[in-house]
Amino acid sequence: MTTFESITPLLAQQAIELPSWAFGNSGTRFKVFGTPGTPRTPQEKIADAAQVNKYTGLSPTVALHIPWDKVDDYPALGAFAADHGVALGTINSNTFQDDDYKFGSLTHADPNIRQKAIDHHYECIDIMNATGSGDLKIWLADGTNYPGQQDLRARQDRLADSLAQIYSRIGATQRLVLEYKFFEPAFYHTDVPDWGTSYAQVVALGDRALVCLDTGHHAPGTNIEFIVMQLLRLGKLGSFDFNSRFYADDDLIVGAADPFQLFRILYEVIRGGGYGTDSSVAFMLDQCHNVEDKIPGQIRSVLNVQEMTARALLVDRAALDAAQNAGDVLGANGILMDAFYTDVRTDLAAWRESRGLDGDPMTAYAASGYQAHIAADRVGGQQASWGA
């Protein structure tokens, strides 16, 4: 039987990167909502992200989004992050907000627009070199809305060529990670709609090109843990973007919609060798906080991942293997369910305290006064939001 004490060395290896944009204002396609204390600069986003790590010990790095987080001096930004106890992480490109990209970016039929999108990724690689980032993450809004609008195969060929040019520029210790999403903003077809397309594109590039799996980017009913297993089996799972969705890409707090699904995903990650310091699979949040405060929303999110990781680590693998090999259907299912239903919250609180953290990070942050401080201090200027 696996005990909580036996899994704490593995729990101590967990790191979940935070997205800078989660601390800016966001909303729906109908409205972006402002809140008091929203960051106005990349530095303020990093300062807020550092609060999450301060209270949880789970989020030592912050991902940047370019051009939303462009600055003149990236080493200085890195030093600012270090002063706050965190480091800069993944660099995310953006080819979905310029008017030129209305009909595509890396897949566009116009070679000049395609080159503009490639050059943007070259700029992102330059930023990676300046920040020490290891990953360039690419998500494309490219696609079409109507049958016959574009040549589907030609777009895949152009995508392959564009990615090859970008991949040739990354450094020997850097990775290109290609994200997929099955629809939106393109509704007839999306150029990278599923893990198979992402896999087909990155496998043609080389060993340092991998797939990013966003947990909200699948059709309802998709067995995401199967995809996790397959990508780990193929050695092509590069990173996760964790969030939840009730209908489509809702970008809600991870574990909010289906904590059992998160548990199943994390079990397959652990089963497949995708967890811990020996694994190159990166964990990151990618979600928005439209109605809740942003910092506690991120705290809740990383705690949800930690809790389901602990439950997944508690699965009695030897007993499960024996039941599976014996064809004991209900026995095997019961072993998995026993781990899922184990309440680890008290054990996690005590373990946090043993590491010098507050047992209840949510309450500790609320009592810190930081939220009131930034609301009073950050008056004037332009709050960070979509496109800023």
Structure tokens at 336: 């998995």
Q: What is the pLDDT of residues 369-378, one digit of tens each?
A: 999 999 999 9
Structure tokens at 203: 């496998």
The answer to the question of residue 236 being in a domain is yes
Q: CA-to-CA distance for 229 and 213, rounded, in angstroms?
A: 12
| CB proximity list for 306: less than 8 A, separation 6 or greater | 11, 14, 16, 56, 58, 348
Q: Report which secondary-structure segment, H or E, holds 25.
A: none
Cis amide bond preceding 36, omega within 30: no
Q: Domain count of the chain?
A: 1
355 pLDDT higher than 70:
yes
The answer to the question of residue 235 being in a domain is yes
The answer to the question of residue 327 being in a domain is no
Q: What is the pLDDT of residues 108-131, one digit of tens each?
A: 999 999 999 999 999 999 999 999
Across 309-320, average pLDDT: 98
- Residue 285's DSSP bridge partners are 242
The answer to the question of residue 356 being in a domain is no
Q: Where are the alpha helices (DSSP H) in 222-293?
A: 224-233, 259-271
The answer to the question of residue 57 being in a domain is yes
Across 318-345, average pLDDT: 98
For residue 34, what pLDDT band results from cuts at 50, 70 and 90?
A: confident
Task: Work out the mean pLDDT of the chain and round it to a whole number.
Answer: 97
The answer to the question of residue 112 being in a domain is yes
Share of the chain above pLDDT 70, in %: 99
Q: How many helices (H) and strands (E) does the chain have?
A: 14, 12
Q: Are strands 175-179 and 135-138 parallel, antiparallel or unpaired?
A: parallel
pLDDT reported for residue 29: 76
101 pLDDT higher than 90:
yes
pLDDT reported for residue 30: 84
User: Helix axis angle, 361-368 relative to 370-377, nearest 10°?
Assistant: 40
Domain residue limits at 195: 11-309
pLDDT reported for residue 26: 87
The answer to the question of residue 211 being in a domain is yes
Domain holding 80: CATH number?
A: 3.20.20.150
Helix (H, G, I), strand (E, B) or coil at 191: coil
The answer to the question of residue 49 being in a domain is yes
